[in-house]
Amino acid sequence: MHPHPQQAPHVSVVVIGYDDVAHIADAVRSALAQGPAVREVVAVDDCSSDGTFELLTRLAGTEPKVRVIRRESNSGGCGSPRNTGIDAVTSPYVMFLDSDDVLPPGAVDALLAAAVKERAEVAGGLCVRRELPSGREVPWQDRLYAENTVLARPAELPRLVHDTLCVNKLYRSDFLREHDIRFPEGRFPYEDFVFTARVLAAGPRLALVPEQVYVWHVRRSAEQLSISLDRAGIDNWRARIEASRTAYEILLNAGQKELARAARAKFLDHELRMYARELGLRDAEYRSAWWTLTREYLTEYDAADWALNPAAPGRLLARVVLASPEPRDLPRLRELAARPARLCPPYVRAEDGTPIWSRDLPQLTLEPYLTRAVELLPLAVDGELRPRTGDTRLRLRLHEMYGRLAEAGPEALEVEWRHREEGSTAQRATLPLTPGADGTWSAETPVDLAALGAGTWDLRLHVRLADGTARETTAHARTGDGRLRRSAVASLRYGVLLVQPYATHSGSLSVRVAAGVRGVADVLRNRLRRLMR
Protein backbone atom coordinates (compact mmCIF):
# COMPACT_ATOMS: atom_id res chain seq x y z
CA MET A 1 0.00 0.00 0.00
CA HIS A 2 1.21 3.46 -0.88
CA PRO A 3 1.01 6.06 1.89
CA HIS A 4 -1.60 8.77 1.40
CA PRO A 5 0.15 11.43 -0.67
CA GLN A 6 -1.02 14.24 1.58
CA GLN A 7 0.67 12.60 4.57
CA ALA A 8 3.85 11.11 3.11
CA PRO A 9 6.79 13.42 2.28
CA HIS A 10 7.30 12.03 -1.20
CA VAL A 11 8.30 15.08 -3.28
CA SER A 12 11.40 17.18 -3.80
CA VAL A 13 10.95 20.57 -5.48
CA VAL A 14 14.02 21.84 -7.32
CA VAL A 15 14.03 25.65 -7.47
CA ILE A 16 16.64 27.18 -9.78
CA GLY A 17 17.68 30.82 -9.82
CA TYR A 18 20.28 33.27 -11.04
CA ASP A 19 20.43 36.92 -9.97
CA ASP A 20 16.76 36.90 -8.99
CA VAL A 21 16.83 38.13 -5.43
CA ALA A 22 13.53 39.96 -5.98
CA HIS A 23 11.47 36.84 -6.67
CA ILE A 24 13.14 33.61 -5.59
CA ALA A 25 11.90 33.73 -1.99
CA ASP A 26 8.30 33.77 -3.24
CA ALA A 27 9.02 30.72 -5.38
CA VAL A 28 10.56 28.80 -2.47
CA ARG A 29 7.71 29.74 -0.12
CA SER A 30 5.14 28.59 -2.66
CA ALA A 31 6.86 25.19 -2.67
CA LEU A 32 6.97 25.05 1.14
CA ALA A 33 3.28 25.98 1.27
CA GLN A 34 2.40 22.75 -0.58
CA GLY A 35 2.37 21.02 2.80
CA PRO A 36 3.63 17.70 4.16
CA ALA A 37 3.88 16.00 0.75
CA VAL A 38 7.02 18.06 0.10
CA ARG A 39 10.03 16.46 1.78
CA GLU A 40 12.56 19.08 0.67
CA VAL A 41 13.04 22.17 -1.44
CA VAL A 42 16.41 22.02 -3.18
CA ALA A 43 17.32 25.59 -4.15
CA VAL A 44 20.10 25.69 -6.73
CA ASP A 45 21.81 29.05 -7.12
CA ASP A 46 23.61 29.34 -10.47
CA CYS A 47 26.45 31.46 -9.03
CA SER A 48 24.47 34.67 -8.54
CA SER A 49 26.10 38.00 -7.76
CA ASP A 50 23.07 39.98 -6.55
CA GLY A 51 22.53 38.42 -3.11
CA THR A 52 20.33 35.54 -4.24
CA PHE A 53 22.55 32.94 -2.56
CA GLU A 54 22.72 34.90 0.69
CA LEU A 55 18.92 35.26 0.72
CA LEU A 56 18.48 31.53 0.18
CA THR A 57 20.97 30.78 2.95
CA ARG A 58 19.03 32.94 5.39
CA LEU A 59 15.79 31.28 4.33
CA ALA A 60 17.29 27.83 4.86
CA GLY A 61 18.28 28.89 8.36
CA THR A 62 14.62 29.27 9.28
CA GLU A 63 13.12 26.53 7.09
CA PRO A 64 14.52 23.03 7.74
CA LYS A 65 13.09 21.68 4.46
CA VAL A 66 15.18 24.10 2.39
CA ARG A 67 18.56 22.91 1.15
CA VAL A 68 20.73 25.36 -0.77
CA ILE A 69 23.32 24.40 -3.39
CA ARG A 70 25.55 27.02 -4.96
CA ARG A 71 27.16 26.24 -8.30
CA GLU A 72 30.81 27.31 -8.61
CA SER A 73 30.30 29.06 -11.95
CA ASN A 74 27.33 30.36 -13.87
CA SER A 75 26.13 27.89 -16.50
CA GLY A 76 24.45 30.42 -18.77
CA GLY A 77 21.23 28.42 -18.92
CA CYS A 78 18.55 26.56 -16.98
CA GLY A 79 19.61 22.99 -17.77
CA SER A 80 22.75 22.67 -15.66
CA PRO A 81 21.22 23.89 -12.37
CA ARG A 82 18.24 21.58 -12.89
CA ASN A 83 20.63 18.67 -13.44
CA THR A 84 22.38 19.64 -10.21
CA GLY A 85 18.99 19.42 -8.52
CA ILE A 86 18.21 16.01 -10.03
CA ASP A 87 21.51 14.69 -8.64
CA ALA A 88 20.76 16.08 -5.18
CA VAL A 89 17.13 15.13 -4.52
CA THR A 90 16.34 12.32 -2.08
CA SER A 91 12.60 11.86 -2.67
CA PRO A 92 10.74 9.37 -4.87
CA TYR A 93 9.31 12.23 -6.96
CA VAL A 94 10.73 15.52 -8.22
CA MET A 95 9.28 18.75 -9.60
CA PHE A 96 10.97 21.82 -11.09
CA LEU A 97 10.22 25.45 -10.28
CA ASP A 98 11.81 28.58 -11.75
CA SER A 99 12.77 31.41 -9.42
CA ASP A 100 10.32 33.93 -10.88
CA ASP A 101 7.28 31.60 -10.89
CA VAL A 102 5.14 29.97 -8.19
CA LEU A 103 3.28 26.76 -7.43
CA PRO A 104 -0.41 27.38 -6.71
CA PRO A 105 -1.93 25.82 -3.57
CA GLY A 106 -2.62 22.10 -3.93
CA ALA A 107 -0.39 21.60 -6.97
CA VAL A 108 1.84 18.92 -5.44
CA ASP A 109 -1.04 17.04 -3.85
CA ALA A 110 -2.96 16.92 -7.16
CA LEU A 111 0.00 15.59 -9.12
CA LEU A 112 1.21 13.19 -6.44
CA ALA A 113 -2.26 11.72 -5.91
CA ALA A 114 -2.56 11.01 -9.64
CA ALA A 115 0.95 9.56 -9.91
CA VAL A 116 0.47 7.23 -6.94
CA LYS A 117 -3.07 6.13 -7.84
CA GLU A 118 -2.26 5.43 -11.49
CA ARG A 119 1.30 4.14 -10.91
CA ALA A 120 2.49 6.76 -13.37
CA GLU A 121 6.14 7.73 -13.91
CA VAL A 122 5.01 11.20 -14.97
CA ALA A 123 2.01 13.28 -13.87
CA GLY A 124 1.15 16.59 -15.55
CA GLY A 125 -1.31 19.39 -14.91
CA LEU A 126 -2.43 22.76 -16.17
CA CYS A 127 0.01 25.67 -16.34
CA VAL A 128 -1.26 29.24 -16.67
CA ARG A 129 0.74 32.17 -18.02
CA ARG A 130 0.10 35.12 -15.71
CA GLU A 131 0.81 38.46 -17.37
CA LEU A 132 2.30 40.95 -14.93
CA PRO A 133 1.46 43.48 -13.70
CA SER A 134 -2.11 43.04 -15.01
CA GLY A 135 -2.59 39.56 -13.53
CA ARG A 136 -4.35 38.29 -16.67
CA GLU A 137 -4.06 34.51 -16.91
CA VAL A 138 -3.88 32.46 -20.11
CA PRO A 139 -3.92 28.65 -19.90
CA TRP A 140 -1.09 26.76 -21.59
CA GLN A 141 -2.12 23.77 -23.74
CA ASP A 142 -5.36 23.44 -21.80
CA ARG A 143 -6.77 20.90 -24.30
CA LEU A 144 -4.37 18.33 -22.84
CA TYR A 145 -5.61 18.89 -19.30
CA ALA A 146 -9.36 19.21 -19.79
CA GLU A 147 -10.04 16.06 -17.78
CA ASN A 148 -8.33 13.28 -15.85
CA THR A 149 -6.50 11.10 -18.34
CA VAL A 150 -4.26 8.06 -18.00
CA LEU A 151 -1.95 7.00 -20.84
CA ALA A 152 -0.08 3.71 -20.90
CA ARG A 153 2.40 5.33 -23.27
CA PRO A 154 2.81 8.83 -24.79
CA ALA A 155 2.07 7.70 -28.37
CA GLU A 156 -1.59 7.32 -27.35
CA LEU A 157 -1.78 11.13 -27.37
CA PRO A 158 0.69 12.61 -29.91
CA ARG A 159 -0.41 16.13 -29.04
CA LEU A 160 1.69 15.75 -25.87
CA VAL A 161 4.62 17.07 -27.91
CA HIS A 162 2.97 20.51 -27.85
CA ASP A 163 3.51 20.79 -24.10
CA THR A 164 7.27 21.22 -23.95
CA LEU A 165 7.27 22.61 -20.40
CA CYS A 166 9.03 20.61 -17.70
CA VAL A 167 7.68 22.63 -14.78
CA ASN A 168 4.02 21.58 -14.79
CA LYS A 169 4.87 17.94 -14.21
CA LEU A 170 5.90 15.55 -11.46
CA TYR A 171 8.48 12.85 -12.28
CA ARG A 172 9.52 9.67 -10.56
CA SER A 173 13.13 10.28 -9.62
CA ASP A 174 14.21 6.71 -10.34
CA PHE A 175 12.56 6.90 -13.79
CA LEU A 176 14.71 9.91 -14.71
CA ARG A 177 17.85 8.23 -13.39
CA GLU A 178 17.15 4.83 -14.93
CA HIS A 179 16.81 6.36 -18.41
CA ASP A 180 19.52 8.98 -17.81
CA ILE A 181 17.05 11.76 -18.62
CA ARG A 182 18.74 15.10 -18.13
CA PHE A 183 18.68 18.62 -19.47
CA PRO A 184 21.27 19.90 -21.96
CA GLU A 185 24.20 21.42 -20.10
CA GLY A 186 25.34 25.01 -20.32
CA ARG A 187 23.89 27.72 -22.51
CA PHE A 188 21.16 25.85 -24.39
CA PRO A 189 18.00 27.92 -24.95
CA TYR A 190 14.75 25.93 -24.98
CA GLU A 191 16.27 23.15 -22.92
CA ASP A 192 12.71 22.08 -22.05
CA PHE A 193 12.22 20.87 -25.65
CA VAL A 194 15.07 18.38 -25.31
CA PHE A 195 14.23 17.23 -21.78
CA THR A 196 10.57 16.66 -22.66
CA ALA A 197 11.54 14.73 -25.78
CA ARG A 198 13.79 12.48 -23.68
CA VAL A 199 10.95 11.88 -21.23
CA LEU A 200 8.48 10.98 -24.00
CA ALA A 201 11.07 8.84 -25.79
CA ALA A 202 11.41 6.68 -22.68
CA GLY A 203 7.71 5.75 -22.94
CA PRO A 204 6.45 6.52 -19.43
CA ARG A 205 3.00 5.82 -18.10
CA LEU A 206 1.37 9.25 -17.70
CA ALA A 207 -1.42 10.73 -15.62
CA LEU A 208 -2.88 14.11 -16.63
CA VAL A 209 -5.05 16.17 -14.29
CA PRO A 210 -7.25 19.24 -14.92
CA GLU A 211 -6.04 21.08 -11.81
CA GLN A 212 -3.84 24.16 -12.11
CA VAL A 213 -0.36 23.14 -10.95
CA TYR A 214 1.96 25.93 -12.12
CA VAL A 215 1.89 29.71 -12.53
CA TRP A 216 4.28 30.99 -15.19
CA HIS A 217 4.93 34.67 -14.60
CA VAL A 218 5.33 36.70 -17.80
CA ARG A 219 7.13 39.99 -17.19
CA ARG A 220 7.35 41.73 -20.57
CA SER A 221 8.63 44.95 -19.02
CA ALA A 222 11.58 43.30 -17.28
CA GLU A 223 15.05 44.63 -18.09
CA GLN A 224 16.20 41.11 -18.97
CA LEU A 225 13.48 39.23 -20.84
CA SER A 226 13.14 35.50 -20.43
CA ILE A 227 14.40 33.34 -23.30
CA SER A 228 10.87 32.66 -24.56
CA LEU A 229 10.10 36.40 -24.75
CA ASP A 230 13.46 37.66 -26.03
CA ARG A 231 12.86 36.86 -29.70
CA ALA A 232 14.26 40.01 -31.31
CA GLY A 233 17.65 38.51 -32.26
CA ILE A 234 18.17 35.90 -34.96
CA ASP A 235 20.14 33.72 -32.51
CA ASN A 236 16.89 33.05 -30.69
CA TRP A 237 15.31 31.62 -33.85
CA ARG A 238 18.45 29.62 -34.57
CA ALA A 239 18.27 28.15 -31.04
CA ARG A 240 14.58 27.36 -31.43
CA ILE A 241 15.24 25.47 -34.65
CA GLU A 242 18.12 23.54 -33.08
CA ALA A 243 16.02 22.57 -30.05
CA SER A 244 13.17 21.45 -32.33
CA ARG A 245 15.55 19.45 -34.52
CA THR A 246 17.14 17.78 -31.48
CA ALA A 247 13.75 16.87 -30.01
CA TYR A 248 12.67 15.30 -33.31
CA GLU A 249 15.86 13.25 -33.56
CA ILE A 250 15.53 12.00 -29.97
CA LEU A 251 11.99 10.77 -30.62
CA LEU A 252 12.83 9.26 -33.99
CA ASN A 253 15.92 7.43 -32.71
CA ALA A 254 13.83 5.99 -29.87
CA GLY A 255 11.42 4.48 -32.37
CA GLN A 256 8.66 6.96 -31.49
CA LYS A 257 7.88 7.76 -35.13
CA GLU A 258 4.37 9.06 -34.50
CA LEU A 259 5.58 11.43 -31.80
CA ALA A 260 8.51 12.52 -33.97
CA ARG A 261 6.17 13.42 -36.83
CA ALA A 262 3.88 15.23 -34.40
CA ALA A 263 6.88 17.25 -33.21
CA ARG A 264 7.59 18.37 -36.76
CA ALA A 265 3.95 19.32 -37.21
CA LYS A 266 4.09 21.27 -33.96
CA PHE A 267 7.03 23.32 -35.27
CA LEU A 268 4.93 24.43 -38.24
CA ASP A 269 1.82 25.15 -36.23
CA HIS A 270 3.46 26.87 -33.26
CA GLU A 271 7.04 28.05 -33.76
CA LEU A 272 6.79 29.00 -37.43
CA ARG A 273 3.49 30.87 -37.04
CA MET A 274 4.60 32.72 -33.91
CA TYR A 275 7.80 34.04 -35.43
CA ALA A 276 6.20 34.79 -38.81
CA ARG A 277 3.68 37.07 -37.08
CA GLU A 278 6.60 39.16 -35.80
CA LEU A 279 8.62 39.45 -39.03
CA GLY A 280 7.16 42.88 -39.71
CA LEU A 281 8.81 44.12 -36.51
CA ARG A 282 12.30 43.08 -37.67
CA ASP A 283 14.77 44.72 -40.02
CA ALA A 284 15.71 43.45 -43.47
CA GLU A 285 18.86 41.71 -42.24
CA TYR A 286 16.93 39.71 -39.65
CA ARG A 287 14.19 38.78 -42.15
CA SER A 288 16.72 37.56 -44.68
CA ALA A 289 18.57 35.46 -42.10
CA TRP A 290 15.28 34.10 -40.70
CA TRP A 291 14.12 33.11 -44.17
CA THR A 292 17.39 31.32 -44.94
CA LEU A 293 17.47 29.41 -41.63
CA THR A 294 13.84 28.39 -41.99
CA ARG A 295 14.27 27.13 -45.55
CA GLU A 296 17.32 25.11 -44.54
CA TYR A 297 15.40 23.43 -41.73
CA LEU A 298 12.28 22.77 -43.79
CA THR A 299 14.32 20.90 -46.42
CA GLU A 300 14.75 18.19 -43.76
CA TYR A 301 11.00 17.46 -43.85
CA ASP A 302 9.96 14.43 -45.91
CA ALA A 303 6.86 13.72 -47.99
CA ALA A 304 4.99 12.17 -45.07
CA ASP A 305 5.56 15.32 -42.99
CA TRP A 306 3.93 17.45 -45.70
CA ALA A 307 1.07 15.01 -46.30
CA LEU A 308 -0.23 15.34 -42.73
CA ASN A 309 -3.10 17.89 -42.64
CA PRO A 310 -2.06 19.75 -45.83
CA ALA A 311 -4.60 22.54 -45.31
CA ALA A 312 -3.14 23.58 -41.95
CA PRO A 313 -2.02 27.25 -42.00
CA GLY A 314 1.50 26.45 -40.80
CA ARG A 315 2.02 24.04 -43.70
CA LEU A 316 0.93 26.59 -46.29
CA LEU A 317 3.17 29.18 -44.68
CA ALA A 318 6.09 26.75 -44.76
CA ARG A 319 5.45 25.89 -48.41
CA VAL A 320 5.61 29.58 -49.35
CA VAL A 321 8.94 29.93 -47.56
CA LEU A 322 10.33 26.84 -49.30
CA ALA A 323 9.11 27.99 -52.71
CA SER A 324 10.98 31.31 -52.66
CA PRO A 325 14.69 31.94 -51.98
CA GLU A 326 13.98 35.45 -50.67
CA PRO A 327 11.43 36.87 -48.21
CA ARG A 328 8.12 37.66 -49.91
CA ASP A 329 4.44 38.30 -49.19
CA LEU A 330 5.19 39.11 -45.54
CA PRO A 331 1.92 40.98 -44.83
CA ARG A 332 -0.12 38.10 -46.25
CA LEU A 333 1.95 35.51 -44.37
CA ARG A 334 1.45 37.48 -41.17
CA GLU A 335 -2.31 37.18 -41.63
CA LEU A 336 -2.01 33.45 -42.33
CA ALA A 337 0.03 33.06 -39.13
CA ALA A 338 -2.67 34.76 -37.03
CA ARG A 339 -4.85 32.79 -34.62
CA PRO A 340 -7.34 32.04 -36.05
CA ALA A 341 -5.62 32.11 -39.44
CA ARG A 342 -6.77 34.49 -42.18
CA LEU A 343 -5.98 33.84 -45.86
CA CYS A 344 -6.33 37.29 -47.36
CA PRO A 345 -6.84 38.06 -51.07
CA PRO A 346 -5.85 37.81 -53.84
CA TYR A 347 -7.43 34.43 -54.52
CA VAL A 348 -5.66 33.45 -57.73
CA ARG A 349 -6.27 30.49 -60.02
CA ALA A 350 -3.99 28.78 -62.51
CA GLU A 351 -5.03 28.54 -66.15
CA ASP A 352 -6.73 25.21 -65.48
CA GLY A 353 -8.74 26.73 -62.63
CA THR A 354 -6.64 25.28 -59.78
CA PRO A 355 -6.39 27.63 -56.79
CA ILE A 356 -2.78 28.81 -56.31
CA TRP A 357 -0.91 31.11 -53.92
CA SER A 358 0.16 33.55 -56.67
CA ARG A 359 0.68 33.69 -60.40
CA ASP A 360 4.47 33.53 -60.06
CA LEU A 361 4.22 30.45 -57.82
CA PRO A 362 1.80 28.25 -59.78
CA GLN A 363 3.31 25.09 -58.27
CA LEU A 364 2.06 26.16 -54.84
CA THR A 365 -1.54 24.98 -55.05
CA LEU A 366 -4.32 25.61 -52.54
CA GLU A 367 -6.39 22.61 -53.60
CA PRO A 368 -6.86 21.33 -50.02
CA TYR A 369 -9.08 24.37 -49.36
CA LEU A 370 -11.56 23.13 -51.97
CA THR A 371 -12.47 20.17 -49.76
CA ARG A 372 -11.76 21.46 -46.25
CA ALA A 373 -14.87 22.05 -44.11
CA VAL A 374 -15.98 25.67 -44.45
CA GLU A 375 -15.99 26.18 -40.70
CA LEU A 376 -12.26 25.34 -40.73
CA LEU A 377 -11.24 27.63 -43.61
CA PRO A 378 -8.92 30.58 -42.86
CA LEU A 379 -11.60 33.15 -43.66
CA ALA A 380 -10.63 36.77 -44.23
CA VAL A 381 -12.64 39.65 -42.78
CA ASP A 382 -11.58 43.29 -43.14
CA GLY A 383 -12.38 45.52 -40.18
CA GLU A 384 -12.43 49.31 -40.19
CA LEU A 385 -13.13 51.40 -37.08
CA ARG A 386 -13.60 55.16 -37.46
CA PRO A 387 -13.82 56.94 -34.11
CA ARG A 388 -16.06 60.03 -34.23
CA THR A 389 -17.92 61.95 -31.59
CA GLY A 390 -21.43 60.54 -31.40
CA ASP A 391 -21.06 58.22 -34.40
CA THR A 392 -18.25 55.67 -34.21
CA ARG A 393 -18.84 52.91 -36.73
CA LEU A 394 -17.35 49.45 -37.22
CA ARG A 395 -17.42 48.31 -40.84
CA LEU A 396 -16.76 44.66 -41.67
CA ARG A 397 -16.30 42.91 -45.01
CA LEU A 398 -16.11 39.14 -45.45
CA HIS A 399 -14.25 37.87 -48.52
CA GLU A 400 -15.26 34.96 -50.71
CA MET A 401 -12.73 32.10 -50.98
CA TYR A 402 -12.81 30.17 -54.25
CA GLY A 403 -16.60 29.91 -54.15
CA ARG A 404 -16.66 27.94 -50.92
CA LEU A 405 -18.44 30.61 -48.89
CA ALA A 406 -21.23 31.19 -51.38
CA GLU A 407 -21.97 27.46 -51.19
CA ALA A 408 -22.15 27.61 -47.39
CA GLY A 409 -24.36 30.71 -47.30
CA PRO A 410 -22.85 33.13 -44.77
CA GLU A 411 -25.74 34.73 -42.91
CA ALA A 412 -24.37 36.82 -40.06
CA LEU A 413 -21.35 38.01 -38.12
CA GLU A 414 -21.39 37.65 -34.36
CA VAL A 415 -19.30 40.49 -32.93
CA GLU A 416 -17.82 41.10 -29.50
CA TRP A 417 -15.07 43.24 -28.00
CA ARG A 418 -12.82 41.50 -25.47
CA HIS A 419 -10.73 43.37 -22.90
CA ARG A 420 -7.19 42.12 -23.30
CA GLU A 421 -6.14 42.36 -19.66
CA GLU A 422 -9.35 41.45 -17.85
CA GLY A 423 -10.83 39.02 -20.37
CA SER A 424 -14.27 40.61 -20.05
CA THR A 425 -16.48 41.09 -23.12
CA ALA A 426 -18.66 44.00 -24.22
CA GLN A 427 -21.06 45.06 -26.96
CA ARG A 428 -21.96 41.68 -28.32
CA ALA A 429 -24.10 41.86 -31.43
CA THR A 430 -25.27 39.67 -34.32
CA LEU A 431 -25.06 41.52 -37.63
CA PRO A 432 -26.77 40.32 -40.80
CA LEU A 433 -24.41 40.01 -43.76
CA THR A 434 -25.30 41.81 -46.97
CA PRO A 435 -23.90 40.35 -50.22
CA GLY A 436 -22.10 42.75 -52.53
CA ALA A 437 -21.55 42.85 -56.27
CA ASP A 438 -17.81 42.23 -55.78
CA GLY A 439 -18.31 38.80 -54.19
CA THR A 440 -18.01 39.97 -50.61
CA TRP A 441 -20.45 40.29 -47.71
CA SER A 442 -20.60 43.36 -45.50
CA ALA A 443 -21.96 44.40 -42.12
CA GLU A 444 -21.86 47.55 -40.04
CA THR A 445 -22.59 48.47 -36.42
CA PRO A 446 -22.19 51.45 -34.09
CA VAL A 447 -19.58 51.20 -31.32
CA ASP A 448 -20.15 52.91 -27.97
CA LEU A 449 -16.58 53.79 -27.00
CA ALA A 450 -17.61 55.13 -23.59
CA ALA A 451 -19.29 51.82 -22.80
CA LEU A 452 -16.08 50.02 -23.66
CA GLY A 453 -14.10 52.21 -21.29
CA ALA A 454 -10.35 52.37 -20.75
CA GLY A 455 -8.02 49.62 -21.89
CA THR A 456 -7.11 47.58 -24.93
CA TRP A 457 -9.99 45.83 -26.68
CA ASP A 458 -9.62 43.02 -29.22
CA LEU A 459 -12.31 42.36 -31.80
CA ARG A 460 -13.58 38.78 -31.96
CA LEU A 461 -15.91 37.46 -34.67
CA HIS A 462 -17.90 34.36 -35.57
CA VAL A 463 -19.07 33.87 -39.15
CA ARG A 464 -22.49 32.20 -38.90
CA LEU A 465 -23.32 29.89 -41.84
CA ALA A 466 -26.66 28.71 -43.20
CA ASP A 467 -26.35 25.21 -41.74
CA GLY A 468 -25.93 26.62 -38.23
CA THR A 469 -22.18 26.10 -37.98
CA ALA A 470 -19.81 28.99 -37.31
CA ARG A 471 -16.18 29.89 -37.88
CA GLU A 472 -14.33 31.91 -35.27
CA THR A 473 -12.02 34.55 -36.69
CA THR A 474 -10.64 38.05 -36.20
CA ALA A 475 -10.64 41.06 -38.52
CA HIS A 476 -7.75 42.32 -40.62
CA ALA A 477 -7.21 45.92 -39.52
CA ARG A 478 -7.60 48.56 -42.20
CA THR A 479 -8.83 52.10 -42.71
CA GLY A 480 -10.19 53.90 -45.71
CA ASP A 481 -7.05 56.04 -46.16
CA GLY A 482 -4.60 53.29 -45.22
CA ARG A 483 -3.65 54.81 -41.85
CA LEU A 484 -4.65 54.10 -38.27
CA ARG A 485 -4.89 57.39 -36.40
CA ARG A 486 -5.29 58.31 -32.75
CA SER A 487 -8.44 60.43 -32.28
CA ALA A 488 -9.85 62.54 -29.45
CA VAL A 489 -13.60 61.93 -29.06
CA ALA A 490 -15.94 63.92 -26.83
CA SER A 491 -17.78 61.86 -24.21
CA LEU A 492 -20.63 62.72 -21.86
CA ARG A 493 -19.37 60.17 -19.34
CA TYR A 494 -15.62 60.90 -19.41
CA GLY A 495 -15.39 64.32 -21.00
CA VAL A 496 -12.89 63.07 -23.53
CA LEU A 497 -11.69 59.73 -24.90
CA LEU A 498 -8.43 59.15 -26.72
CA VAL A 499 -9.04 56.32 -29.18
CA GLN A 500 -6.54 54.48 -31.38
CA PRO A 501 -7.56 51.63 -33.66
CA TYR A 502 -4.44 49.61 -34.45
CA ALA A 503 -3.17 46.38 -35.96
CA THR A 504 -1.68 43.76 -33.65
CA HIS A 505 1.49 41.83 -34.57
CA SER A 506 -0.73 39.45 -36.54
CA GLY A 507 -2.63 42.28 -38.28
CA SER A 508 -5.83 41.91 -36.26
CA LEU A 509 -8.01 44.92 -35.47
CA SER A 510 -7.85 46.13 -31.88
CA VAL A 511 -8.47 49.48 -30.22
CA ARG A 512 -6.85 51.31 -27.32
CA VAL A 513 -9.05 53.64 -25.27
CA ALA A 514 -7.82 56.20 -22.72
CA ALA A 515 -10.65 57.70 -20.69
CA GLY A 516 -10.83 61.16 -19.12
CA VAL A 517 -8.33 63.97 -18.89
CA ARG A 518 -6.03 61.96 -16.62
CA GLY A 519 -6.02 58.95 -18.92
CA VAL A 520 -5.31 61.09 -21.97
CA ALA A 521 -2.53 62.92 -20.10
CA ASP A 522 -0.90 59.61 -19.16
CA VAL A 523 -0.88 58.51 -22.81
CA LEU A 524 0.64 61.77 -23.99
CA ARG A 525 3.21 61.73 -21.18
CA ASN A 526 4.30 58.18 -22.04
CA ARG A 527 4.54 59.07 -25.71
CA LEU A 528 6.71 62.08 -24.94
CA ARG A 529 8.93 59.94 -22.73
CA ARG A 530 9.45 57.45 -25.58
CA LEU A 531 10.31 60.24 -28.01
CA MET A 532 12.92 61.65 -25.64
CA ARG A 533 14.78 58.35 -25.18
Tens digits of residue pLDDT in 331-390: 999 999 999 999 999 999 999 999 999 999 999 999 999 999 998 999 999 999 989 888
Tens digits of residue pLDDT in 199-254: 999 999 999 999 999 999 998 665 555 655 678 899 999 999 999 999 999 999 99
Cα of first residue to Cα of last residue in the chain, in angstroms, is 65
Q: What span, in angstroms and rounded, lies between the C-alpha atoms of 42 and 16?
A: 8
Tens digits of residue pLDDT in 479-521: 654 456 788 888 888 888 899 999 998 999 999 999 877 766 6
The fold for domain 11-219 equals Spore Coat Polysaccharide Biosynthesis Protein SpsA; Chain A (3.90.550)
Rg (CA), the chain: 26
Counting Cβ atoms within 10 Å, is residue 292 exposed (0-12), middle (13-18) or buried (19+)? middle
**Contact of 325 with 298, CB cutoff 8 Å:** no
Question: pLDDT at position 226, please?
Answer: 60
For domain 377-532, the CATH class is: mainly beta
* Better-predicted residue by pLDDT, 3 or 52: 52
Angle at 193 between CA 190 and CA 195, to 5 degrees: 110
Beta-carbon count within 10 A of 156 CB: 12
Write down the domain spans for the chain.
11-219, 234-371, 377-532
> What stretch of H or E contains 273?
helix 273-277
**Contact of 446 with 395, CB cutoff 8 Å:** no
429-438: average pLDDT: 94
What is the average pLDDT score of the chain? Answer: 92
